[in-house]
């Protein structure tokens, strides 16, 4: 997938690579997710072009479950804490 975006005030084409499905252990049990790598720019922030990973539920809800950014100074991880599905 290619999207037009900005990074540090510079416009660029964001490429997102689909990396298959993966089972993620969450507070709500094990969830099958789609795994994506948004392409990062190698710079003073990131070492490689795949230093960010996003996991999204592999169902019609597509809920982001986990996010990980491996930066040169540290690795930041965010896990889903709570969610509310919209009423139909």
- Residue by residue, pLDDT tens for the chain (88 residues) are 888 887 678 887 888 999 999 999 988 889 999 999 998 878 888 888 889 999 999 999 899 999 999 998 899 999 988 877 777 7
Q: DSSP states of 32-57 as a string?
A: EEEEEEE---BTTTBSSTT-EEEEEE
DSSP state for residue 73 in the 8-state scheme: S
| Tokens coding 52 | 């960010």
Contact between 68 and 76 under an 8 Å Cβ cutoff? The reply is yes
Residues 32 and 4: their CA atoms lie apart, in Å, by 29
| 88 three-class SS | coil
């Amino acid at each position: 997938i290619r999207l037009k975006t900005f990074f540090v005030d510079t416009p660029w084409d964001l490429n997102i690579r689909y990396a298959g499905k993966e089972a993620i252990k969450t507070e709500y049990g094990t969830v099958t997710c789609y795994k994506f790598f948004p392409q990062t720019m190698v710079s003073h922030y990131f070492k490689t072009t795949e230093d960010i990973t996003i996991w999204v539920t592999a169902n019609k809800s597509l809920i982001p479950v986990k996010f990980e950014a491996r930066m040169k100074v540290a690795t930041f991880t965010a896990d889903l804490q709570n969610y509310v599905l919209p009423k139909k």
